[in-house]
Structure 1
Amino acid sequence: MKKTAVVLAIAALTLSGCKTLDAVPGGLGNLVGTKEVDQAQVQAVYNKAQEAYLSAQSSMQIVATESLSDFDPERIKDANKVWSDLQEEFAELQGKPERAIEKASLFSSNTVADEIMEQSQQITTLVSAAQASKNAIVAVLEPVRAHFAVLDKIDAKKNFEKQYAQLVSRHEELKEMLIEGEQSKVEGYLPDLNNRLHKLEQDAVEKFYLGEVLADLKVLANSDKSDVLPSVFVDAKNAAELAQAFARNNVRQYQDIEAKTLLAQLQVKRINSLFSEHISRKEALKDDAVEVQLLGLEKQIYQLTQKAGLGDLRHLSFTEQLAELNKAN
């Protein structure tokens, strides 16, 4: 009887004694979860995560306002990717703030708040680095950027596609070097780049303003017009060459370039007009209509001499009558 009582007592102790950790449903995590969590602690951790998120948000706003993707596209691409993930995670945390102190995943020791703060810091670091890149690029390469803006106004890309593309490529190479922190090297390469940009600007401004005139002169040089009217052709050629030289030496004095180009254009029109007169007179001789043309010209000069009070000077040659008109004026 006594033995039986002892066995029953031992069994009872075994069944009703302390539980092992393995006996707790869900393991340690659920055991900890059953404890009352300090709400103030949760709120404090959440606030830190929110502060970090807002800092990252401000950084992303800087990306837009300062157009940082134009200066450091790779870093901004990375920042955008992290920002996309961060927005999603923080939206979930806003719905359940208590998750701030939970583990981010089974394989991470970081809490959800830790992950958010870490991602926010990544964004801030990337954007700060992109800003530094922009500052270096603006400080060193802004004159180059301005030069490209000028080239675009005078159709350099359209008329000199290959040279323009080569310069753009070189500009991008120097930007990458600045992003990598090689400012001193870039500054050493600038004189050569600026020289190439200036030469392209000379060619572009000449083509933009004088391209049509110079093309017309090439046609005239290989036509009967330059043979029939050699001195007039020389006048047109000289006017074009003066405009050309002025444009290449004063690439941004656009109004003066336009004025000199206009003079060259007028000389081209002059040779065309005189040649047309020559053809008309030649045709008139073939048609036995010389008298009609001569009388028509005589009448015009006669009206001018009458108006000038010189009387009838038709006994003089046309050249002599015009000379008298010049004296009267």
Structure 2
Amino acid sequence: MRMKFGLVFGAVLFNITGCKTLDSVQSIGGSSPSNEQVQAAYSRAEAAYQEAQQAMYLANTESLIDYDRVRVQKAQKEWQELEENFADLKAKPFEALDSASFFSSQTVSGEIIELSQEVLALIGGAQAAKNLILSVLEPVRSHFAVLDKFAAQEHFPIRYRKLNETHKKYRAMLVDGKQPEVEAELADFNAQLTALEVSAVERYYLGEILSQLRTISASPKAKVLPSVALDASNTSEYAKVYIRNNVRDYEQIEEKVRLAKLQLLRVDSLYQEHLARKEALQKNQVEAQLLELESHLLALTEKAGLGDLRHLSFAEQLSAVKDKL
């Protein structure tokens, strides 16, 4: 054990639980710390070191640096110094009650405990900041998860960037303890996020459909089949309104979009029928088409148990089948 005569040193410091303890022993009249006192000081330093070690492990597993970079980086710096100091003490445990330095009233053990407390305070602050961010900004995180799912950053870069910058600003404000200020602005911010979310979901589900509708409106199809083209447009508009009012009801959104796609197919199908009849008229081949349709209706009426109804018009035959069903 190292002996120091004629020196009087002491340090009152906080231990891990926040209580004050005396880790230095006065050497008066040539007296020196006992083995038991040195061992007790070493044990306190070791316990403090282990608790700081656990705190740093928590910081890593909880990714605290993503929430409070300043505190965590400062804690990492303190932890590096703590590791070095404890490694020195572990190599020479009998120096636990020696002065930490020539000009310091702190013991080696006391300095380790103090560094541990600083690490714990910093990591505790970072953990509190994370909890606050997750609690206050949970709806915001949910919005950004949806925006990323529907590639809002790619398709609406300016709007996305502005909202993301505001999100980062709010996180920093919460780290600084400005919760009331953040909460006062959240309603408007969430409304902006919802608006972008609606735009992203609309584009994802209806982008191609709306593009096809624009093509149809500028083509002969809209002139030949104005009411059918209008039906297709109205079905798509209904899907758009539904998205705006139920932006996360994806199952129903997909159903509305499916109906809109069917209307587009209907436009194409009827227009092809129109072209076929137009060509038949030009080539005097209407009879062949009429007979083909008549044969299909005959098969339908016979299967329905109505027999041969070819003496009726096509509309009357279909009405009879409908009544039978």
TM-score bin (small chain): 0.7 to 0.9
SS in 1 for 2:96: helix
> Do the aligned residues in 1 keep the contact of 2:242 with 2:253 (CA within 8 Å)?
yes
Q: Does 1:222 align with 2:218?
A: yes
Matched, 1:234 2:230: yes
Q: Secondary structure at the match of 1:303?
A: helix
Instruction: Work out whether residues 46 and 113 of structure 1, in 8 Å CA contact, stay in contact via their aligned partners in 2.
Output: yes
- Indicate the residue corresponding to 2:116 in structure 1: 120
Distance 1:295 1:170, change over 3 A: same
Structure (1/2) with the larger helix percentage:
1
| Map of 1:23 onto structure 2 | none
2: CA distance between counterparts of 1:243 and 1:185?
A: 38
Distance 1:307 1:75 in 2: 80
1:57 corresponds to: 53
For CA contacts below 8 A with separation 6 or more, give which structure has more relative contact order: 2
Q: What are the within-5 Å matches in structure 2 for residues 196-207 of structure 1?
A: 196-207=192-203
CA distance in 1: counterparts of 2:56 and 2:122, whole angstroms: 10
Name which of structure 1's ranges 301-310 and 226-235 shifts more when overlaid on structure 2: 301-310
Please give the root-mean-square deviation of Cα atoms over the aligned residues, in Å: 2.9
Contact preservation (8 Å) 1:68, 1:131: yes
Which residue of the partner structure matches residue 194 of structure 1?
190
How far is 1:109 from its partner? 5.3
Q: CA deviation at 1:65?
A: 4.5
**Alignment correspondent of 1:11:** none
Q: State whether structure 2 residue 74 is matched by structure 1 residue 78.
A: yes
User: Quick one: distance in 2 between partners of 1:188 and 1:313?
Assistant: 74
Q: State the alpha-carbon separation in 1 of the partners of residues 180 and 33 from structure 2.
A: 57
| Alpha carbons 2:68, 2:130 under 8 Å: kept | yes
What is the CA distance between 1:257 and its match in structure 2? Answer: 1.6
Q: Can you give the 5+ residue segments of structure 2 that lack an aligned partner in the other structure?
A: 8-30
Measured in 2, the distance between the counterparts of 1:103 and 1:282 equals 105
- The residue matched to 1:101 in structure 2 has which SS? coil
Matched, 1:137 2:122: no
Equivalent position amino acid for 1:174 in 2: Y
| Superimposed CA distance per residue, residues 46-84 of structure 1 (whole angstroms, 9 cap, x where no aligned partner) | 122112112212222332454422321221122122223
Q: Aligned partners of 2:319, 2:47: CA distance in 1, in Å?
A: 93
Instruction: Show the counterpart of 2:205.
Output: 209
1:281 aligns with 2:251: no
Whether 1:101 aligns to 2:97 is yes
Shift of 1:285: 4.3
Q: Distance in 1 between matches of 2:324 and 2:174?
A: 73
- Measured after TM superposition, the shift of residue 193 of structure 1 is 0.8
| Structure 1 Cα separation of the partners of residues 79 and 224 of structure 2 | 76
Letter of the 2:294 counterpart: E
Larger Rg: 1
Do 2:4 and 2:32's aligned partners in 1 also have CA atoms closer than 8 Å?
no
Q: 1:136·1:178 contact (CA, 8 Å) conserved in 2?
A: yes
Which range is displaced more, 157-166 or 287-296? Answer: 287-296
8 Å contact 1:298–1:314 — kept in the other structure? yes
CA distance in structure 2 between the partners assigned to 1:275 and 1:182 by the alignment: 63
Spell out, residue by residue over 1:12-35, the C-alpha distance to the aligned partner (whole angstroms, 9 max, x if none): xxxxxxxxxxxxxxxx98999xx9
Alpha-carbon displacement from aligned partner over 1:277-328 (angstroms, at most 9, x marks no partner): 2223334445554443332222212222333344443344433433343344
Read off the aligned partner of 2:58 and give its amino acid letter.
Answer: I
Could you state the TM-score of these two structures normalised by the residue count of structure 1? Answer: 0.80
Task: Report if aligned partners of 1:229, 1:271 keep a CA contact under 8 Å in 2.
Answer: yes
Q: Is the 8 A contact 1:205 1:248 kept in 2?
A: no
CA distance in 2, matches of 1:91, 1:255: 60
Aligned to 2:166: 170
Distance 2:213 2:92 in 1: 80
Q: Distance in 2 between matches of 1:196 and 1:183?
A: 20
Q: Match of 1:201, as an amino acid? A: E
Pick aligned residue for 1:69 from 41, 65, 68: 65
